[in-house]
Amino acid sequence: MPGEVFGFLGPNGAGKTTAMRMLVGLLRITRGSAPVLGTDVASAPASLRQRIGYLPGALALYGNLTGAEYLRFLARMRGRALSQRINELSERLNLDLTRHIHDLSKGNQQKLGVVQAFMHSPEILILDEPTAGLDPIVQREFEALIDEAQRQGSAILLSSHVLSEVDHLAGRVAIVDKGHLLVVEDISTLKRRALRTIDLDFTQPVDTASFARIDGVTDVRSRGSQVTCTLTGEETGLLRHAVDLGVLSVRTHEPSLDQIFFSLVQGGDHRADRPADEVVA
């Protein structure tokens, strides 16, 4: 969707990079389809790729060129005059474009990859581990670039093993494992449905057995006038019962995206459990 940051998660070997390479036409699709901007990439013209910004997980750069030469070369390939935008981005990322690429550190080569992905203000950004090797200051600037691209209407597909980064930037997420799509959902909805801990404070001790009969409630325990339980699903039934007992306060400890990811992948919860035959961007 335009203006959306969409997280794309999975363990190593799940198929994330393969799917991304298919979306930009670098790998042939052998089954299913991959429509991008309304066009199947299998038969897409070269002009479609000019509307996409792609940052691969494994950068392959021309080491004998300077950063400036490399970016000018890409700008010509895209048929655009981008000198001003290139200079702006390199300054923001503190990137020296006068040095040869083979002399740049991994972090500075990654900055170069970020610049080439963003410099033509693409309609779609496909970013595979975009902050790998970037220091915290540059990571913050990268997040600002994501925010700007989102406000300008770009759709952003973001794959990262830094799940806190995806949690912070993305609204929705797809989780894949072994080539199968486990779930596609709003992150907020995933957190609401996931197992979480609830603390309830009362004026005096209450009967904990009554809580165990509520749908989704497990592991009920008490300490004095406080009841703690775990909950899967909606809170409505639990809160209604707590109010009837005169609850003073309620604290919900939501799981992180990391915890949800590990629960789905390691717990074998293949909720969607279907091959990712169709990938839509």
CB 187 within 8 A of CB 255: no
Q: Which domain holds residue 97?
A: 5-188+271-275
Cβ atoms of residues 278 and 36 within 8 Å: no
Please report, as a single letter, which amino acid is at residue 198.
I
Is 216 in the same domain as 182? Answer: no
How many residues are given for the chain? 281
Question: How far is residue 80's CA from residue 51's CA, in Å, rounded to a whole number?
Answer: 12
Determine the Cα–Cα distance for residues 259 and 254; give it in Å rounded to an integer: 10
Domain of residue 204, CATH code: 3.30.70
Same-domain check for residues 56 and 157 = yes
Residue 202 sits in the same domain as residue 136 = no
Residue 133 C-beta-side C-alpha neighbours within 13 Å: 18
> Which structure tokens are listed for 89?
């981005």
Report the CATH number at residue 44.
Answer: 3.40.50.300
Tokens for 124?
A: 């779609």
State whether 121 and 138 are in the same domain.
yes
> For residue 206, which of 222, 218, 219, 229 has the smallest C-alpha distance?
222
For residue 281, the number of C-alpha atoms closer than 13 Å in the C-beta half-sphere is 34
In a domain, residue 281? The reply is: no
Is 261 inside any structural domain?
no
3-state DSSP assignment of residue 50: coil
Same domain, 121 and 238: no
- Going residue by residue through the chain (281 aa), what tens digit of pLDDT does each one get? 889 999 999 999 899 999 999 998 888 888 888 888 888 877 776 778 889 999 999 898 999 999 999 999 999 988 887 999 999 999 999 999 999 999 999 999 999 999 999 999 999 999 999 999 999 999 999 999 999 999 999 999 999 999 999 999 999 999 999 888 999 999 999 988 888 899 999 999 999 999 999 999 999 999 999 999 999 888 899 999 999 999 999 999 888 898 889 888 886 544 444 334 433 33
**Per-residue pLDDT, 33:** 80
Instruction: Round to whole Å and give the CA distance between 223 and 87.
Output: 61
Q: Which of 270, 244, 267 is nearest to 255 (CA)?
A: 267
Shared domain for 54 and 161, answered yes or no, is yes
Q: Rounded distance, CA 118 to CA 121, Å?
A: 6
